[in-house]
Structure 1
Amino acid sequence: MTDGWVFLSVTVLIAVGVFLNGVRFSRMRKNPFVGRSLFGQPIQGTELSIHHIRWIGKIQMIFAPVFLLFAAAMTFGFFGPVEGITIIKFN
């Protein structure tokens, strides 16, 4: 069984990371994947326009807080008991 505070802490770290990555992508001026390779293979995404890369960043910035709210609601028991997570209660 996982403690609710641990689950919520990890969720906060993930949401902040995704949000900051979205800020990074939404401010890009050129495609960072063009001309790069990983293990000798070209990276997928080199054909994306800067408009699409910025759009991906904006989507990440929108859904990171939504993910955090959903996980917090689940952790505090708004959806009922969740198997494997101890619900956080303020007594």
Structure 2
Amino acid sequence: MIDTGWDADAATTTDLGEAMNTGKTCLTEDSAALIATPGLDVVIDATGSPAAGIRHALLAAENGCHMVMVNVEADVLGRRLPRAGIRQGGSGLFDGLW
């Protein structure tokens, strides 16, 4: 942010709720908390990690979020598991690869 000339304190937050309410950017290492944030509609997984992608898809389903899977490894290795879980949760899984 320093290189952009932005005021980092004004543009970022560590609180997910504040980010949802203000439009600030929130970076976190806690994907489960991020996915469970009330009001989150869509999760995009582009990690390249099969375990993380499948975990994120299942968390999205549990929290009623749609999922865009841009993680070919997770899509190939867990193709049936995340899709079945997300359909049960009433959310959608969208392939971002094709």
TM-score, L = length of structure 2: 0.22
Choose between structure 1 and 2: higher helix proportion.
1
TM-score, L = length of structure 1: 0.23
Bigger RCO (CA 8 Å, 6+ sep):
1
Q: Which is higher, the Rg of structure 1 or of structure 2?
A: 1
